[in-house]
């Protein structure tokens, strides 16, 4: 049975698209046929993060309007034949997305895909609502700062009340917390909220912590999902998240400040 995952947050710039690309690639690398959809009509970025921007011919709105089939619009990733990308339109209005159109597309996608990852725009506008409306699972992405966590808390209220599952009184959307741009040293200095602080506010199951890392920016600029950078801490963190989501029991990393070895302690400045 296919599962629809929405990657969401209240605040912009927290790493939703980076997360969507990494999670989708991670699931595909595990052998699961996966589609990842950009819901940010007018401001598409997912194709850039995945390095397929030059191959976009048709987009999600073309599919909804009957101007192209899903088969025509889906772009197969060159690095993994289990991953397919459905880009957003850069030229259409956000109202181009409709409940009926999105629902029809999902019905078709569920016939052949195990996982459908939805990269949601920030906030509570139409694209964000439609990205979460059909979801089975929600990855709530937040930074360890008060405004980001507060906005995520607001999104939890919407997830629990405005989804198709809520309307039909079905089992609620499963909600998971992803904490991005985490820096234990700054937490220690009181400049960031701790993992415990965020969990106290949101009361969500922690799926993983993504450390603040230059590798995320480097990966984005090169059109490569950071999960493929297996030497980077961020890449390893996303890999752990995919494993945990698929049921593996993995200890959390990158929460505590790395201990310096003897050489580092002797020669620290």
Q: Chunk the chain into consecutive blocks of 10 residues (it has 269) and report each block's average pLDDT, rounded to whole numbers.
A: 93 91 98 96 88 94 94 97 93 80 96 97 83 96 94 91 94 96 94 95 95 91 94 96 97 83 51
pLDDT score recorded for residue 49: 94
Contacts of 11 (CB under 8 A, 6+ apart): 122, 142, 143, 147, 148, 151, 152
* C-beta atoms surrounding 233 within 10 Å: 18
Q: DSSP 3-state helix, strand, coil percentages of the chain (rounded to 5)?
A: 45, 15, 40
- Which candidate, 111, 117, 118, 197, places its Cα nearest to that of 150? 197
pLDDT score recorded for residue 269: 42
Phi, psi of 155 (to 5 degrees): -65, -35
* C-beta atoms surrounding 47 within 10 Å: 23
Q: Which residue do the tokens 């025509």 mark?
A: 72
Cα 94 to Cα 21, 42, 125, 127, 231, distances in angstroms: 22, 7, 9, 6, 38
pLDDT score recorded for residue 178: 97
């Amino acid at each position: 049975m296919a599962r629809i995952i929405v990657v969401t947050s209240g605040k912009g710039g927290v790493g939703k698209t980076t997360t969507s690309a990494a999670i989708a690639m991670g699931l595909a690398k595990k052998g699961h046929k996966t589609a990842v959809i950009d819901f940010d009509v007018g401001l598409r970025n997912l194709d850039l993060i995945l390095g397929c921007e030059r191959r976009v011919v048709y987009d999600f709105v073309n599919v909804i309007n009957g101007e192209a089939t899903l088969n025509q619009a889906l772009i197969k990733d060159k690095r993994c034949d289990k991953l397919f990308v459905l880009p957003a339109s850069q030229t259409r209005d956000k109202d181009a997305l409709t409940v009926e159109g999105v629902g029809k597309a999902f019905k078709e996608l569920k016939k052949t895909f195990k996982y459908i990852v939805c990269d949601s725009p920030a906030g509570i506008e139409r694209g964000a609502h439609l990205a979460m409306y059909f979801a089975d699972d929600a990855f709530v992405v937040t930074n360890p700062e008060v405004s980001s966590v507060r906005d995520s808390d607001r999104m939890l209220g919407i997830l629990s009340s405005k989804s198709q599952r809520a309307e039909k009184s079905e089992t609620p959307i499963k909600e998971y917390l992803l904490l991005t741009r985490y820096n234990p040293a700054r937490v220690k200095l009181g400049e960031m909220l701790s993992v415990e602080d965020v969990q106290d506010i949101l009361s969500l199951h922690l799926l993983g912590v993504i450390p603040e890392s230059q590798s995320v920016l480097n990966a984005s600029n090169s059109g490569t999902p950071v999960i493929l950078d297996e030497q980077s801490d961020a890449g390893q963190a996303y890999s752990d998240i995919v494993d945990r989501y698929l049921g593996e029991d993995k200890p959390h990393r990158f929460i505590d400040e790395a201990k310096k070895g003897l050489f580092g302690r002797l020669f620290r400045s």
